[in-house]
Structure 1
């Protein structure tokens, strides 16, 4: 009697398929082409050819990759980098074609948290990078079912004047993250505020703007509350005057912006005023003038002699002009 074919898979094929499916989920270390690894979506950390990168390139040339990168598989058969962007950059620069990686199945939130955690403890991280990293990690924690802090608004918080502890506030997501990273909730909030700055101002905070103008962290946090148009007006005024606003000036900008009274003219007029700490200064290294003094001269004696010689020079010039 012939077998009835119901079109169902055999027991062997079912077992084989399940075995392969489980095998595909196992973490494995493999070597894959670098061009099959894409960067993490919205990766917040810049990868540049700086001094640290040159050291990494030299290390890879001499020792190879000591620690495999971490990637996750994509549906199209390629991979997304989780940890190892700098190593990938260095290897590509050298001309290497394959990279040893750990392949791990991760959902978006797991991947984000691992990506941030593997980079956030590096020494040389720009302030804006840290802000984006904190923001991404907190958002991933939110998706995992945890509560999330509201960093959209600058909501005043009541503090105990003696202990500086916040009164009557339940622990929130940023408290958890802060405990993990050794950073206060308020500091996390302030770094996240940098993500609301326009790109030119972020570059100035990081010290990577082409003008080499640098904005301090605390003023930058205040500027993050300005509208986009106001920030562009400010960035233009900063470059035009080669001068950054003080903390007090930034706080005034923020107040006027909140009241809808901040104008382009006021920003320009403010930046045209010279801050006391931005007056032109003369500076030089002691090594540049040491050769002109006896070895036993202290810095103060050198200073007194310089002033004395300048006074004599000024008197001589004055007498010459009177003739």
Structure 2
């Protein structure tokens, strides 16, 4: 072969790999949750097999790291399937992180904490890939690409760099408050402001939220941020703020989608389910009022 002739790399191909040789991605930020979606995936695999192979990379010890396909592996294990189709690809750590995030970030149901840590991982990988020094400014521009690292991190999901920045802020929340965000007990925007509180002030806030059974509004959260940064925030003020009556405060009521999904056809959207539930409640209210009138007669 002539010296200037470049040999093409071997073509990638799908091979069957034992599930015992597949390792989860290190630091994988996405949950492999059970529920309706997992049941649907298992039903699909039971009927048609694994239609889309896993994407893996060799670890060098005969084992492979999953870049994309953690949910498919979990579904196969639940079904007793021990061999899975996988596309083996050599890639660097940063290339693997970017692919791992991009293949999961567009899922229909994703928790704020999952998105937060995924964006953080991808942003740091983009920084290293671009050969830039690591700094705290999340909005810096990559000279070679002409874009902010956070802009590049959000491109696959169609989100702006400002949105990505705000999601990454959630990684500064203590775990117990971040869990409240995932459970929709605290809205996204107030949570971003709370993330600027010191860890000590966040712990104090969590204790007062539990004691008062209340959460701060967006305006209140901004005040807490300013006071925490100024070092003037006290437990007494937190208690006063959380117990004061808000003009439009209402206790919120949530239904978990997985709890009600089983009562509806699989193709129903959340909006369709909401319309049916409201219609049934209206009918129930009308019937209840009619029965009450009948009893009073």
Matching residue within 18, 34, 37 for 2:22: 37
> How far apart are the structure 1 equivalents of 2:128 and 2:16?
32
Cα distance change on mapping 1:56 and 1:89 into 2, 3 Å: same
Q: Could you tell me which runs of 5 or more consecutive residues in structure 2 were left unpaired when the two chains were aligned.
A: 1-7, 141-145, 254-277
Q: CA deviation at 1:280?
A: 5.1
> How far apart are the structure 1 equivalents of 2:251 and 2:25?
44
> How far apart are the structure 1 equivalents of 2:138 and 2:202?
17
Q: CA deviation at 1:251?
A: 0.7
The reply to whether residue 139 of structure 1 matches residue 124 of structure 2 is yes
In the TM superposition, what are the counterparts of 1:282-293 in structure 2 within 5 Å? 285-291=281-287
Contact 1:148 1:174 in 2 (8 A): no
- Where does residue 169 of structure 2 map in the other structure? 193
Contact 1:131 1:191 in 2 (8 A): yes
The reply to whether residue 229 of structure 1 matches residue 200 of structure 2 is yes
Q: CA deviation at 1:139?
A: 0.8
- Normalising by structure 2, we get a TM-score of 0.77
- Normalising by structure 1, we get a TM-score of 0.71
Q: CA deviation at 1:281?
A: 8.3
> Secondary structure of the equivalent of 1:123?
coil
> How far apart are the structure 2 equivalents of 1:61 and 1:135?
35
In the TM superposition, what are the counterparts of 1:148-297 in structure 2 within 5 Å? 171-207=147-183, 214-279=185-250, 285-291=281-287
Number of residue-to-residue matches in the alignment: 255
Q: CA deviation at 1:146?
A: 5.2
Contact 2:120 2:168 in 1 (8 A): yes
Q: Could you tell me which runs of 5 or more consecutive residues in structure 1 were left unpaired when the two chains were aligned.
A: 1-21, 156-169, 208-212, 295-305, 314-323
- Where does residue 80 of structure 2 map in the other structure? 95
**Residues 195-220 of structure 1, C-alpha deviations (whole Å, 9 max, x = no match):** 1111111111111xxxxx61000000
- More moved, 269-278 vs 239-248: 269-278
Cα distance change on mapping 1:67 and 1:154 into 2, 3 Å: closer
Question: Which structure would you say has the larger Rg?
Answer: 1
**Residues 145-204 of structure 1, C-alpha deviations (whole Å, 9 max, x = no match):** 25589656899xxxxxxxxxxxxxx74222334445321111111011011111111111
RMSD: 2.8
